[in-house]
Chain A
């Protein structure tokens, strides 16, 4: 009788503790980032609006060295890094480097910015689902700028949070070309 009670007690307490732990673990914040491969697949397969009102998929650039830059015109650190991207696209475009900018912004602002800075790579328009994708890709606070570097085989070689210096990016992409 005594043993049975104690065992019963321990089991109940253990179960409650487990339930408690589960409850805490189930609270938000503990989510892990996606595996790199599935990040690439999600990024490449996502359909993103373009400035002309259609949608595009990044699938069309698979096989190239792809630099996907998430940015916005209202984001100062994003604007700072873009002239460097334009120069790199100019220099390495013929060797298979492809920049793609995905802006979390309004189409007219993006179009204006594109002509002012003579952007020589495609600019697309992201939305809510883009931010969510960023969060899952490891950018948990969902901030800009965020840049992903994908090699020809579709491996995620770099994810950079915050402004990216031209020289640093150049050093990442050169061995991939």
Chain B
């Protein structure tokens, strides 16, 4: 009987944790940006020269019950007003919270022996259904950033065209 009560209690705790967990996937791939409604602050919207438009929403607005990812922004990239990429971006924080989050949600991967998480630079890719998830830890100008990129195989053509345009422009800036 005691064991039964323990099981029930455990399931209750798990359900609570899931309810409080951060859900940044607030729109489906392919949906228009009008589907995203955030209160009380309107997201910052930034069009770019490659035909994309990014909605930038801090985790402070997305995950009010879960402060573990505060300091991270979710960037929703729309190409032809279709959600094509979700990116979590965490710059210049002395931790590896996005790596821990990605490993917890999509599966762990091995790091080189003896290298602390915060000093490692590299990337790892998972697949989950139609989604391709890439974790990246990289240096940026005057700092470093953790990034989780989520794209859909269903919208990979638009994403590839967009990336090609960005690449061409970056090459022209050298």
Partners in one complex: no
Q: Which residues of A pack against B, CB within 8 Å?
A: none
Q: Which residues of B pack against A, CB within 8 Å?
A: none
